[in-house]
Amino acid sequence: MSKKNPVEIRTSPHLKKNLSVDQIMLQVVYALIPVALFSVYQFGLSAAVVILTTILFAMGTEHLFCKLGNKPSTLGDNSALLTGLLLGLTLPPGFPLWMAAVAAISGMGIGKIFFGGLGYNILNPALVGRAFVQAAFPVAITSWTPNLLQDRFLEFIPSTLTPPMLLPISTTEWLTGKNVDSFTGATPLGLQKFENTPTELFDLFSGTTAGSLGETSFILILLGGLYLAARNFLDWRIPVGIFASASVVALITQWSDPSLAGPMFHILSGGMALGAIFMATDMVGSPVTPAGVWLYAFLIGALTVVIRVYGGLSEGVMYAILLGNIFLPLIELVTQPRSYGEAR
Amino acid sequence: MILNAEKLFAKLRKRRTFSHGIHPVAHKEATAGLAIRRIPFPPRVDLPLSQHIGAASKPLIKPGQEVVRGEPIAEPGGFLSVPIHSPVTGVVKSVDTLIPTAAGPKTPAITIETYGGSTQEVLYSAQQDIENLSPKELVEAVQHSGMVGLGGAAFPSHVKLLPPEGSVIETVLVNGCECEPYLTCDHRVMLEQTDAMIRGIEMVVRAVGAKRAIIGVEDNKFDAVKHIETALAGHPNITVQAVVTKYPQGAEKLLIDSLLDREVPEGEIPAKIGVAVYNVGTLAQLGSLIPQNRGLIERVVTVSGPGVKKPGNYMVPIGTPLRFLMEQVGADIDSSEVILGGPMMGMSVASLDVAITKGVSGVVVMEPQLESDKLKTVYPCIKCGDCLDACALHLNPSMLGQLASSREYEAMEEEYHLNSCFECGSCSYVCPSNIPLTQYFRIAKSINRERHAAEAAEAAAELESQQTDQSTEKSTSEAA
């Protein structure tokens, strides 16, 4: 007998696939990097600082709450980084930084940590943060700035640097000084809903429109999604189901009132792509049962178009996903898989 | 049959498989090409009286007695039990030594000291003409041989030859999948002991009165498929069928799904739907032992893994101490993990003083700390659903895992089919949160078993007290 313990004991299985949560989260972050870079290209310095702010405050909130709870910090799972990045991408370009910080703190705090942290949150934390500021600062979150302004890499949009606890500085004067009327800042969804002005589908596809930081370019979001789906880090059924049901509902609404937008507009515009591909697919908030995944996706797609067409807001994807998250336990309850050998 | 896109797609490509499952790296190349070789007799063998499922065997010999290789040394302890034969010529040292087991508790074993230089030949045998044996006599002969399932389950083979009342076995499935990584012993048996295996199949088919037999082999062993096909000339009732290489293809219920597109109802055995499944190694041993009226004294064991210097497929006497086998193959056993069986379902041993028993198909020596520390971090369940896609029984391991962490063991059993789980380990293998799901389920099952036993005892006690009450009442009324 040797002196040291000669053998290690573990329970089976003794092999493990080389993949863990932190790696998955990091891959999703990588998939979003082109989207984030494009938003900086479109909206300049302001976009960069908004995204950095939400990331910083999301991670800071998680770390602080872990320390307050005398628990090891959970920053290592990279989920706070992802939430911060996603949240930043849903905000308008000139969103005041202090409000972005509020969004991040409320999203992480109310949306995630109060429920028990990663895996236990009922709602998507990034969307909770956005919903919080949507309710708290309805004007600031619907104030859009035109894309591709000339000096975007040299100066901030004035509203970005609003001092904490103050209302955002108006950008109208600043924009007039640049010989741009504020109308050009309107988003395709707003133009469609309130002005009944359609936008070129190709602009929606490539992303050269006004809008929230990360939502404009359909193609970049789609490429990120395809990468994740190919590596099995994303359930392709969710975006496919959302786009399908949104198209069906859009066709129905268009049939009832031909002046309304068609399926392609609904899929390409606003936060639909970012929501369907990166938000609704958040593993924690989406069903695990195969039939449930489809049900969940159909629900979100249909709700998005219904809210967009019949609701007071021009955008509906955020509330649709949050409602989908809320329905999750019910969906899973009725879609448990039939196991091998189970009586029919 | 579980019909889904995966199975339909496989069907379109004329490939047989079940749906779900995983693809761990096979690691079979180190030993797949190595012919079966004998190892020398160990200086001592330890033969646990309980190497199989069922009642322990009863020793027939006394300490100090001399035994010959092949001689019966223990008789069955009941119907669900088998005899033990001495794998060596030597002298009995003890009939109740307590030796460690992979499962943990120590178990009584017969210890025999081997005579140096004794012959490998089995002297203790007698020819018998199996063609003239009736099915009933065949079953008896199988029990006398001490055969148990060599695939790992170690279930007494003769019991499977007697289907329960009301079931008729129509199809015998021969399991040559060997889906566990590293293991190649069944592969070698199919290549080297083909005739004995076919003889064993014919015997089993006759004993159970089946119409046909199908040999299922994973398509990573296509040489075996080709080899068996050639050898099957003149056996019209036996066919060989390649199945998709996927873990756990070798689980009998899934092999039935792959080959026959049928499901065994929950909680039932394959006999219920007229199927009996045998491992190729078991049949090859039956085919060579029964005609000579011999007992099971050795088996093929794959010894492999990163910690082994001379990996291979070895013919190992039953009862060989693991330490001796490790010395023979030059295993680096310092702070390694030694697994009996395959790495997906096998058990790591706490001591090298365990013996190679009838059910040990492989010994895999893993490098110490194979997994990096980072891989071991357990995160909360993020409901990614990977485990649902891995579970070949279409269970919901994610939900089961969450119920286990909140100790709702009853709900696991009653609502989420916990007892269907055969602990193949696929869910733990894929889990990105590194949650030890399979271990959770093992614990839940054993707690449920304890609870059921306690409930049964309580019910029995209540019944008894009721009866006493009644009899007292009766006697009082009689007295009145």
For residue B418, give the CATH number of its domain.
1.10.1060.10
Q: Which residues contact B286 (CB under 8 A, 6 or more apart)?
A: B142, B145, B147, B157, B199, B200, B203, B204
Q: Are residues A201 and A129 in the same domain?
A: no
Mean pLDDT of B411-435: 94
Q: Which is more confidently placed, B437 or B335?
A: B437
B433–A336 CB contact, under 8 Å: no
pLDDT bin (cut points 50, 70, 90) of residue A313 is confident
In A, which residues are within 8 Å of B416 by CB distance? 336
In this structure, of A317-326, B24-33, B325-334, the range with the lowest mean pLDDT score is B325-334
Q: Which is more confidently placed, A9 or B92?
A: B92
Instruction: Assess if residue B362 is contained within a domain.
Output: yes
From B169, B182, B362, B360, select the one nearest B278 (Cα to Cα).
B169
Domain end residue (candidates: A185, A212, A236): A185
Q: Are residues A174 and A301 in the same domain?
A: no
Cα separation, B67 vs B59, whole angstroms: 12
Interface A–B counts its CB contacts (< 8 A) at 179
The predicted structure's pLDDT at residue A186: 76
**Interface test with chain B among A4, A5, A15, A228, by most B beta carbons within 10 Å:** A15
In this structure, of A338-342, B25-29, B370-374, the range with the lowest mean pLDDT score is B370-374
Measure in Å the smallest separation between the Cα of B399 and chain A Cα atoms.
9
Which of A15, A24, A288 faces B344 most closely, judged by CB atoms? A15
Instruction: Assess if residue B347 is contained within a domain.
Output: yes
Instruction: Assess if residue B424 is contained within a domain.
Output: yes
Residues 89-128 of A with CB under 8 A from B: 116-120
Instruction: Assess if residue A339 is contained within a domain.
Output: no
| A2 pLDDT above the threshold of 60 | no
Q: Does B193 touch chain A (CB under 8 A)?
A: no
Task: Work out the burial of residue B89: count CB atoms within 10 Å of its CB; fewer than 13 is exposed, 13-18 middle, 19 or more buried.
Answer: buried
Q: Are residues A221 and A304 in the same domain?
A: yes
The predicted structure's pLDDT at residue A3: 44
Which of B352, B416, B433 faces A6 most closely, judged by CB atoms? B352
Q: Are residues A178 and A41 in the same domain?
A: yes
Which of B24, B396, B420 faces A336 most closely, judged by CB atoms? B396
Which of A7, A21, A336 faces B433 most closely, judged by CB atoms? A21
Mean pLDDT of A194-207: 84
A284–B398 CB contact, under 8 Å: no
The predicted structure's pLDDT at residue A169: 81
Q: Are residues A152 and A25 in the same domain?
A: yes
Mean pLDDT of B129-143: 89
Which of A18, A19, A118 faces B380 most closely, judged by CB atoms? A118
| A305 pLDDT above the threshold of 50 | yes
The predicted structure's pLDDT at residue B1: 47
Q: Are residues B278 and B174 in the same domain?
A: yes
pLDDT bin (cut points 50, 70, 90) of residue A130 is very high
Angle, vertex CA B369, rays to CA B365 and CA B375, nearest 5: 125
Cα separation, A12 vs B344, whole angstroms: 6
The predicted structure's pLDDT at residue B119: 81
Q: Are residues B186 and B231 in the same domain?
A: yes
Q: Does A340 touch chain B (CB under 8 A)?
A: yes
Residues 236-255 of B with CB under 8 A from A: 253-254
Q: Are residues B334 and B381 in the same domain?
A: no
Instruction: Assess if residue A287 is contained within a domain.
Output: yes
- Token pair, residue B414, equals 């009653």
B257–A340 CB contact, under 8 Å: yes
Instruction: Assess if residue A291 is contained within a domain.
Output: yes
Domain end residue (candidates: A158, A185, A212): A185
Report the domain count for chain A: 2
Q: Are residues B181 and B233 in the same domain?
A: yes
Q: Are residues A181 and A46 in the same domain?
A: yes
Q: Are residues A321 and A198 in the same domain?
A: yes
Cα separation, B460 vs B466, whole angstroms: 10
pLDDT bin (cut points 50, 70, 90) of residue B153 is confident
In this structure, of A109-113, A203-207, B327-331, B476-480, the range with the lowest mean pLDDT score is B476-480
The predicted structure's pLDDT at residue A6: 55
Kindly report the average pLDDT of chain A as a whole number: 90
Report the domain count for chain B: 3
Q: Sheet harboring B275-279: ordered strands across?
A: B238-243, B212-218, B171-176, B275-279
Q: What is the pTM of this model?
A: 0.90
Determine what percent of chain B is predicted with pLDDT higher than 70: 95
Cα separation, A95 vs A51, whole angstroms: 10
Mean pLDDT of B217-242: 94
The predicted structure's pLDDT at residue A200: 84
Cα separation, B83 vs A11, whole angstroms: 31
| B366 pLDDT above the threshold of 70 | yes
Q: Are residues B11 and B42 in the same domain?
A: no
Which of B334, B388, B392 faces A6 most closely, judged by CB atoms? B334
Which of B344, B377, B379 faces A12 most closely, judged by CB atoms? B344
In this structure, of A288-297, A326-335, B46-55, B113-122, the range with the lowest mean pLDDT score is B113-122
Mean pLDDT of B375-401: 91
Q: Are residues B300 and B288 in the same domain?
A: no
In which domain, by residue range, is B360 found?
37-114+295-366
Cα separation, A165 vs A169, whole angstroms: 12
In which domain, by residue range, is A283 found?
188-332
Kind of pairing, strands B347-348 and B58-59?
unpaired
Q: Does A3 touch chain B (CB under 8 A)?
A: no
Q: Which residues contact A134 (CB under 8 A, 6 or more apart)?
A: A141, A318
Q: Are residues A275 and A134 in the same domain?
A: no
Instruction: Assess if residue A201 is contained within a domain.
Output: yes
Q: Does B326 touch chain A (CB under 8 A)?
A: no
Q: Are residues A193 and A177 in the same domain?
A: no
| A1 pLDDT above the threshold of 50 | no
Q: Does A9 touch chain B (CB under 8 A)?
A: yes
Q: Are residues A245 and A317 in the same domain?
A: yes
Mean pLDDT of A300-311: 94
Instruction: Assess if residue B452 is contained within a domain.
Output: no
Q: Are residues A291 and A310 in the same domain?
A: yes
Q: Are residues B331 and B421 in the same domain?
A: no
Residues 388-417 of B with CB under 8 A from A: 388, 392-396, 398-399, 416-417
Give the chain B residue nearest A232 (alpha carbons). Answer: B386
Cα separation, B400 vs B418, whole angstroms: 7
Instruction: Assess if residue A6 is contained within a domain.
Output: no
Measure in Å the smallest separation between the Cα of B103 and chain A Cα atoms.
11
| B475 pLDDT above the threshold of 70 | no
Q: Are residues A199 and A303 in the same domain?
A: yes
Task: Work out the burial of residue B314: count CB atoms within 10 Å of its CB; fewer than 13 is exposed, 13-18 middle, 19 or more buried.
Answer: buried
| B146 pLDDT above the threshold of 70 | yes
Instruction: Assess if residue B197 is contained within a domain.
Output: yes
